[in-house]
Copies of this chain bind each other. A is one copy, B any other.
Amino acid sequence: MGSMIRHQICLQLYKHVESTKAEIAQNTDISFPTISKAIDAMVEAGEVRLVGLGKSSGGRRPSTYSLNAAFMTGAAVCLERDFSFYQLFDYEGQLIFQKKLPGVLEAGPELLQKQLQTIQQANSNLRVIVLGVPAPVKNGQVFHIQGYERFRDFNFQTFCEQQFGLSAKVENDMNATVSGYYDRGNYKQDFASVVYLYFGKNGPGAGIIVNGSVVRGSSSFSGEISFLPLSDVRNFEQLLTEALSTKDEQLRKRMLLESVSRFVVTFAATVNPHTIVCSNTELTAGDLIEIRKLCEEMIPADYLPELVSSDWEQDYFYGLQQLTIAKMFKEDE
């Protein structure tokens, strides 16, 4: 129970930056004395900082607290074929440093080790690392990774933990991306469902959140939508490549929109999500309107999700950032 209280306090202070004990007690449904004692202990430990006094509403002014940015740092690492992107966050969740380095997936673990060493040496306070990788992940280990032989069945988590003594977490890229989008979309109901569609280098992929939690599937293969049988003879991936390789601009667009609309209907007729997000590099707002029209020819409008376009890289990075911060707040687990 105690650790849950600490965690709640961290979340509140992260969310509101600066709060009084009373506010935190209010927002968490934990009693004032409990919060008060926990915060005193956290100040003692250097995790929380007394900032100053809040404004008065007629009586004594309350002390305000915030997270101690210097308590520790966490790294979010995005591993792509062509680059590795490192971001360092302080305990308040602020970006304190970022760097793009060469991709390691083709080179192998040695290069990753080197890069991580550099990062760690520059940051004595580094405790936590979160890695995003373009492959299925299970228990910190990737598998079925496409084309990166050096990392076949590589366990990133134990690698980071043992080589660097860090608390580590590994997440699939699309799962991190939906999480990122989901965290920002302020859904009224606590357990919404969102599907994130992305056209990657190795065909399309999706990240899926149902009832508020990421869907990983029985064998961590969720979201491998390339294989969707959306036409008599072609699957989703083939439909897309066919569309994208069409010369005629008009026709190309038409084929693309039609494929995506079939994708949308597929989800509308199964998990019936609140939102489907598309990467805005491929589809404009106008396209989405067109897609919706096409969908309505296949399924009643009531069934259709909200269609949204968003910036993939931004959502992905944001997802990794949130995961990193969450990991700092509960180093264990």
**18 A-B contacts (beta carbon < 8 Å):** A206-B270, A208-B270, A210-B271, A211-B211, A211-B215, A218-B274, A219-B272, A221-B302, A221-B303, A227-B269, A227-B298, A228-B266, A228-B269, A229-B230, A229-B265, A230-B230, A231-B231, A267-B270
Is the CB of A217 closer than 8 A to any CB of chain B? yes
Given A211-B215, A219-B303, A228-B270, 13 further pairs, Cβ under 8 A: A193-B215, A193-B218, A211-B213, A218-B273, A220-B272, A222-B270, A224-B269, A224-B299, A226-B269, A227-B268, A228-B266, A236-B269, A270-B270
Do B224 and A272 touch across chains, with their CB atoms under 8 A apart? yes
Do B272 and A228 touch across chains, with their CB atoms under 8 A apart? no
Is the CB of A332 closer than 8 A to any CB of chain B? no
Q: CA–CA, A305 to B270, complex, Å? A: 16
Is the CB of A235 closer than 8 A to any CB of chain B? yes
The oligomer's copy count stands at 2
Do B225 and A269 touch across chains, with their CB atoms under 8 A apart? yes
5 A-B pairs with the lowest CB-CB distances in the bound complex, closest first? A217-B272, A218-B274, A227-B269, A222-B272, A227-B299
Do A270 and B274 touch across chains, with their CB atoms under 8 A apart? no
Task: Report the interface size for chain A: residues with CB under 8 A from the other chain.
Answer: 44
A262-304 residues with Cβ-Cβ distance < 8 A to B are 262, 265-274, 298-299, 302-303
Is the CB of A232 closer than 8 A to any CB of chain B? yes
Residues on B with beta carbons closer than 8 Å to the beta carbon of A215: 193, 210-211, 271-272
Instruction: Select the residue from A216, A221, A235, A299 with max chain B CB neighbours within 10 A.
Output: A221
Q: Which residue of chain B is the closest to A224 with respect to CB atoms?
A: B269
**Chain B min CB distance to A228 (Å):** 5
Residues on B with beta carbons closer than 8 Å to the beta carbon of A267: 270
